[in-house]
Structure 1
Amino acid sequence: MSSRKRHKTAVNLDSLPDDLLLSILSKLSTTATSAADFVSVLITCKRLNSLGLHSLVLSKASPKTFSLKAKNWSDSAHRFLKLCADAGNIEACYTLGMIRFYCLRNKGSGASLMAKAAINSHAPALYSLAVIQFNGSGGTKNDKDLRAGVALCARAAFLGHIDALRELGHCLQDGYGVKQNVTEGRRFLVQANARELAAVLSNGNNKPPWLTWNLNPATNPHPRIESFTGSGCPLLSDYGCNVPAPETHPASQFMSEWFSVRGASPGPGMRLCSHSGCGRPETRKHEFRRCSVCGAVNYCSRACQALDWKFRHKAECAPVERWLDEEGEDVAGEDDGEGMAMVDS
């Protein structure tokens, strides 16, 4: 072994130009796997801390760079997320917009941030604004704008957003906010299923079983496949294909955690969407629609209803002859050809 000592070369950051450091920090913010990875570099010295908050760096920050647990939410976390949004980071605009609109109850600011992201063709923001229009969120029932919701949904669907494709398909099949076109609606639903499967095949998931087939109808609580001649369009699971649930967006994950640590209630008499991957709460009583079969679950959209039916509710839904809602209105259960329908509460 050589007895020579290894000489460590210290890099003097003061000798490096700002452009080079900004390029390095931008790459870091883009590839960081957590907020801690990024912050640990910023606290190294004052110069890195200053340059790390440059708009060029924050505009390229990945969602994982500014994602955090709801229990760790603080004024400083809010300020950092706002800095990212002000720098033009579209994902930050959407995330902060969702948090302000649904968690902090700042409807105007939240919707404005989501609109900023939507203008830049951010598909999740377009879809979220569509859901707000469909439900009249933040206002009264009379504030619903179904045509605006369909238009926003169509734009998000054009960009390949799977939930938007599914929502638009249901709107066309039901004539909800648009002229009824069953054939075109079925086409969008089939396209949503195809994109869902393509996303699973391309995500590099090596943990088995990432995609399985269940050919035994006895294990299926609702062993039926709808005919393509009808108004329904079965999901992939209806053919026995068990596709894993899609990855939850950080904004939705934050909202789910936010209300979970606060007793899982957004307010007196208000409910959360029953789809676990959503996280949206009601902004007024009876905003979401209930399952017309059992009346035990409620959803912010038909897309959430379809996904929850596939991953969970299909095995739990127990039809009843009649059930009463909170207003005392008697509502009969009915089937829409896809396992369950929804009715206004």
Structure 2
Amino acid sequence: MVRRAVPREDGRRPTTIRDVAAHAGVSVATVSRILSGTYPSAPATRSKVMRAVRELDYVANANARGLAGASSRSVAIIVNSVVSPHYAHVAQGVQTQAALEGKLCIVGTTGGDPEREFATVQLMRQEQAECVILVGNVVNDADYRERMGEYARALALAGSQLVLCGRPALGPGVPALVVEYDNTAGAYAVTSHLLSAGHRRILFLGRRDGHTTQDSRVAGYRDALADHRVPHDPRLEVEGTMERHEGYRMVRERLGAGPADFTAIFACNDLIAAGARRALREHGLRVPDDISMVGFDDLPTAADIDLTTVHVPHEELGRTAVRLALERRRDASGMTGHVMLGTHIVVRESVRTLRGAGGPTP
């Protein structure tokens, strides 16, 4: 795509990609590839180019000129994967609301790579999307918050709005909307459901320290144990990603090391639960006769295997993200920056009540 130099109102020549390249001390091709997200991982080079972009206000000015002459008609959603049912349902909500608003929907994927996420946000900024919606799990450390905060400010300068969907806020003063659901309360409720059925040895599948979704769910699990005066045993928390094959792996390895030392499983999501159920069956264990199980998300898979789980309002998340972002653009003064949607348990037939429910040990 060729950028045409448009005179600025103050009479000064607009910044070009050549100016950015000269300022950063790299080639024009390198700048182009970094801004389009196709440059190989080279943090030092990327940092120099992005610093030059900020200092020269290159993309912000280009987008502001474009928005001044034409109304953008697109919203963007960036997800880890379009294969995961969780992301697919949120994306469907974004698409539905975008259509009602007369907007086109652009979808980008990152594969869980934060560098690809940054590059995709930059690309959506260049494409003048009215809002950029980030969905799903992320390592929300200080470096990530600082860098994404810069992108949020750049989007705002370009007339766009960053929305964090199912993620925590980036910090005070960052121009980003937050639309999330109560992971911790949902995990607390479903763990309490198991505890009320008499289970005291509850295996948590899918802990992954530093990742926002898993951290909030394991926090709810631990809070429920504490409130029911059940000692927390770190050995009952198993690390793994939120995929079906990981659920199978975690349970297979656990049972391969010896007999089950748990009476129930809290799978961090329904995909993990499905994989865990397969591993249990291979070891001759039935749900719920031998091992009780709960999940999280209430995806179609949960109903297929009769799984008690936590319902997440996936499509409402997507619809709310679009609606709030567009309303913020129309009337910034009347909008809140943070919306928390509720969750609730869907009780099916995957939990068995133990004899003497409520005692210290089953």
TM-score, scaled to structure 2: 0.25
